[in-house]
């Protein structure tokens, strides 16, 4: 049939996103998307964990609507209940690991005057990942809302927004080993895993040296969207 040649991935992702946000709203929460990272920093620093990743700080990066977004969630009283952010990099000229060598050293190692030492034995797959790559991170969910499946739905919401905005070749994150081993990465939609992400000889004081590289391809994200739609209609 002629219709079989049509690409339906955008419609599938949009449908899945609509269903996810509907379920989140049904839990009494509202979502907002923004590219104002000054506001993101204020919200992150005011959260109970005061969790702001350098990757999403205006101290280190120029973040704007064309290359980054963040999603905030508020409860029925208007209080911030969750945050997450994503940004896209055009890495057609170099793999992710080479990008890390430039970026991580600039952020963490150079400012410390040599206290932190970045190695070169990053996850082997990071030397193969190139193209249009999205980094997803700074995920935070208020403690009283955890354990209800919201973390998975919120993370998947961020994945699908990134898919619709940028159609990336890859989307990745760095996940604490304990969370990876508990299956959190699989539950949210990552489909590929490597036991070490960035390699630190001497890590910065606030950086975990055991973080896993977790990632999905464009096809994985489309499959995730299809599975969400099938699950929520079943």
According to the model, what pLDDT value does residue 234 have? 46
The per-residue pLDDT for 208 is 79
Locate the domains of the chain by residue range: 2-233
Mapped onto helix, strand or coil, the DSSP state of residue 207 is coil
Please give the pLDDT value at position 197: 87
CA distance 19 to 153: 10
Q: What is the pLDDT of residues 179-208, one digit of tens each?
A: 999 999 999 999 999 998 888 888 887 787
CATH number given to 2-233: 3.40.630.30
Dihedral through CA 211, CA 38, CA 151, CA 215, nearest 10? -40
The pLDDT of residue 111 is 62
**Residue 43: predicted pLDDT:** 94
pTM above threshold 0.85: yes
Residue 187 corresponds to which tokens in the numbers above? 């539950």
pLDDT at 73: 97
What parts of the chain have a pLDDT lower than 50?
1-2, 234
Quote the tokens at residue 175: 């996940």
């Amino acid at each position: 049939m002629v219709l079989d040649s049509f690409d339906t991935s955008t419609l599938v992702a949009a449908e899945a996103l609509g269903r996810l946000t509907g379920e989140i709203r049904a839990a009494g929460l509202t979502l907002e998307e923004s590219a104002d990272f000054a506001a993101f920093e204020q919200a992150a620093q005011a959260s109970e964990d005061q969790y702001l990743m350098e990757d999403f700080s205006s101290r280190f990066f120029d973040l704007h609507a064309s290359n980054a977004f963040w999603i905030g969630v508020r409860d029925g009283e208007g209080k911030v209940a969750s945050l997450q952010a994503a940004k896209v990099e055009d890495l057609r000229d170099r793999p992710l690991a080479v990008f890390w060598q430039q970026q991580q050293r600039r952020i963490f190692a150079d400012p410390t005057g040599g206290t932190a030492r970045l190695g070169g034995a990053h996850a082997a797959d990071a030397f193969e990942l190139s193209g249009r790559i999205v980094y997803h991170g700074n995920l935070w969910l208020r403690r009283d809302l955890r354990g209800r499946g919201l973390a998975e739905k919120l993370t998947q919401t961020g994945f699908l927004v990134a898919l619709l905005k940028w159609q990336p070749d890859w989307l990745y994150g760095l996940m604490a080993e304990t969370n990876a081993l508990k299956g959190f990465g699989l539950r949210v939609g990552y489909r590929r895993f490597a036991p070490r992400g960035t390699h630190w000889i001497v890590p910065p004081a606030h950086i975990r040296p055991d973080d896993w590289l977790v990632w999905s391809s464009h096809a994985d994200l489309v499959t995730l969207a299809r599975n969400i739609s099938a699950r929520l209609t079943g």
